[in-house]
Amino acid sequence: MLSEMKRIVILGGGTGGSIMMNKLAHGLRDRIKSGEVEIVVVNPSERHYYQPAFLLIPVNVMDEREAYTPFSSLVPEGVRWIRDRTVRIDLDNRAVELGSGDRLSYDYLVVSTGATLDPSGVEGLEDTYHFYSFDAARRLKRALADFEGGKVVVGISSIPYRCPPAPIEMTLILRDYFARRGIWDKVELTYFYPLPRVFPIEGVAELLAQEMERKGINYSLMFNLDHVDVERKRLVSLEGEELEYDLAIIVPPHRGADVVRGSGIGDEDGWINVDKYTLNIVGYDDAYAIGDATNLPVSKAGSVADFEAEVVSRRIMDEIEGYEPTSKYNGKTMCFVLTGIGKATVLVFDYENPPPIVPPSFIYYWLKLAYNKLYWNITAKSILTGVVL
């Protein structure tokens, strides 16, 4: 028997939070049954969204009803769900404050509140489209359906953003979408990026640049978006370059969750400073952050949240059982990158090892589509670890 009851509080019920609560509920089921451990998840959303679907909804590869499930269906036996928003995190006093005004104390805390979008950061962005939320993906789908030809630009407004390959995937997919609709000869498609290459990792950038060249897609590098000139329909860069558009698809600026900024536990953009191996919030060995919420130099990706949840759940369970926690995160990241409708490659890398270059093929595309249907069970319910793609 434990000398006193331990409460684990998880903030957020997205990819990281769902995996976390399922792993802990499974690993600690006997302690939960005997009343020695309580697991509480604080999450305001009724729906859990599978965000990779937002890339495929606009081009009719996935149906919008496949993008979400009721959050209640993911909450395992033994976990208490408080349907509320956390409004303050008090690390020094081991407590969180909820929207209802209630205070909840904890023995262990896991912050997995993800990222938020802040379109107000760029003037004129309201004249553009994106696919980084469910509603935005549906809106883009309607705009694409009405589009009959012209200049299309795709890019990002700032770094960091979720799923680094997603904008280039959207560009490559759009080429095939327009070809399927028989209007590719009426479209001029341009991808823009703030770095001197099309993707942060060198070998992968070469592969993706070749794919774009082969498909007749233009790209403009070192293009740091300053503002959108809505009247003249131009994107204007900090460097003074301009890109004309009829349809602009731009990933809005990302920030950490409001509660992180409001509680003063993140940097000025709201990303939480964590130890890159233990994932402890720096200075607090009873509090962790995982997923998009951290300031780690890794991709903001579901696979990262999955690998991190494995490490943090083991550390918490070891401590509860009286062992020294030894589990460490090695920076592992894994994702499929669609290079069009019908082809994909896969990237696997960590802090020490860059990804091997894998030629795009139909098999990875098929695996990705199959995985999209399996996500709810094998990942969100954590039946298999490390299969977030």
Residues lying near ligand FAD in the complex (CB under 6 A) are found at 11-17, 42-45, 51-52, 54-55, 85-86, 112-114, 131-132, 162-163, 166, 257, 259, 291-293, 300-303, 305, 335, 388-389
CB of 73 to ligand FAD, least distance (A): 14
| 176 vs 292 by CB, closer to ligand FAD | 292
Q: How far is the CB of 87 from ligand FAD (least distance, A)?
A: 7
Q: Which is nearer to ligand FAD, 117 or 236 (CB)?
A: 117
We find the least distance from the C-beta atom of residue 196 to ligand FAD, in angstroms, to be: 24
Which is nearer to ligand FAD, 76 or 302 (by Cβ)? Answer: 302
Give the shortest CB-161-to-ligand FAD separation in angstroms.
8
C-beta closer to ligand FAD: residue 117 or 225: 117
| HEC letters along the chain | CCCCCEEEEEECCCHHHHHHHHHHHHHCHHHHHCCCEEEEEECCCCEEECCCHHHHCCCCCCCHHHHEEEHHHHCCCCEEEECCCEEEEECCCCEEEECCCCEEECCEEEECCCEEECHHHCCCHHHCECCCCHHHHHHHHHHHHHCCCEEEEEEECCCCCECCCHHHHHHHHHHHHHHHCCCHHHEEEEEECCCCCCCCCHHHHHHHHHHHHHHCCEEECCCCEEEEECCCCEEEECCCCEEECCEEEEECCEEECHHHHHCCCCCCCCCECECCCCCEECCCCCEEECHHHECCCCCECHHHHHHHHHHHHHHHHHHHCCCCCCCCCCCCEEEEEEEECCEEEEEEECCCCCCCCCCCEHHHHHHHHHHHHHHHHHHCCCCCCCCCC
Q: Smallest gap, in angstroms, from Cβ of residue 116 to ligand FAD?
A: 7
Give me the least distance between CB of 342 and ligand FAD, in Å please.
17
Cβ 221 vs Cβ 198: under 8 Å: yes
Give whichever of 13 and 325 is closer to ligand FAD, judged by the CB atom: 13
Nearer to ligand FAD, 8 or 236 (CB): 8
Nearest CB to ligand FAD, comparing residues 236 and 344:
344
> Is the CB of 241 or the CB of 351 nearer to ligand FAD?
351
Whose CB is nearest to ligand FAD? Answer: 14
Other beta carbons less than 10 A from residue 241's beta carbon: 15
Least Å distance, CB 329 to ligand FAD, is: 14
Q: In this complex, which beta carbon is closest to ligand FAD, that of residue 28 or of residue 137?
A: 137
The distance of closest approach from Cβ of residue 355 to ligand FAD in the complex, given in angstroms and rounded to an integer, is: 14
- Residue 45 CB, nearest approach to ligand FAD (Å): 4
Strand-pair partners of 280: 288
Q: Which of 348, 376, 338, 5 is nearest to 173 (CA)?
A: 338
C-alpha gyration radius of the chain: 21
The least distance separating ligand FAD from the CB of residue 164, rounded to whole angstroms, comes to 9
Query: Would you say 112 or 345 has its CB closer to ligand FAD?
Result: 112
Give the integer Cα–Cα distance in Å for 276 and 274: 6
